[in-house]
Amino acid sequence: MMDRAAIITADADVLGGTPVFAGTRVPVQTLIDYLEGGDRLNDFLDDFPTVSRQQALAALEIARRSLIEHAHPAR
């Protein structure tokens, strides 16, 4: 997996500290919004060509790992 700093950054001078894909002004939330809206990853990448496929997939992997790590066992 890519270095996290090469995937997502947050800087007070870029969109007020909103987490964005590194090297862009594209909020990570935008990817989530696209997928929640039923769009495909390719749709997002076509609309935001400054985000690489590798960055998008790595961000989704970070989210997946976080969800699994923070899951609570069923009672």
Whether the CB-CB separation of 20 and 27 falls below 8 Å is answered with yes
Class of the domain covering 4-65: mainly alpha
The confidence band for 2, taking pLDDT boundaries of 50, 70 and 90, is: low
Backbone angles phi, psi at 54, to 5 degrees: -60, -40
Q: How far is CA 45 from the centre of its chain?
A: 12
Instruction: For the chain, state the CA radius of gyration.
Output: 13
pLDDT, tens digit, 9 for 90 and up, residues 5-19: 789 999 999 999 999
Model's pTM, two decimal places? Answer: 0.85
pLDDT, tens digit, 9 for 90 and up, residues 48-74: 999 999 999 999 999 999 889 887 777
User: Where do the structural domains in the chain lie, given as residue ranges?
Assistant: 4-65
Closest by CA to 2, choosing from 59, 67, 70, 73, is 59
Strand-pairing partners, residue 20, are 9, 27
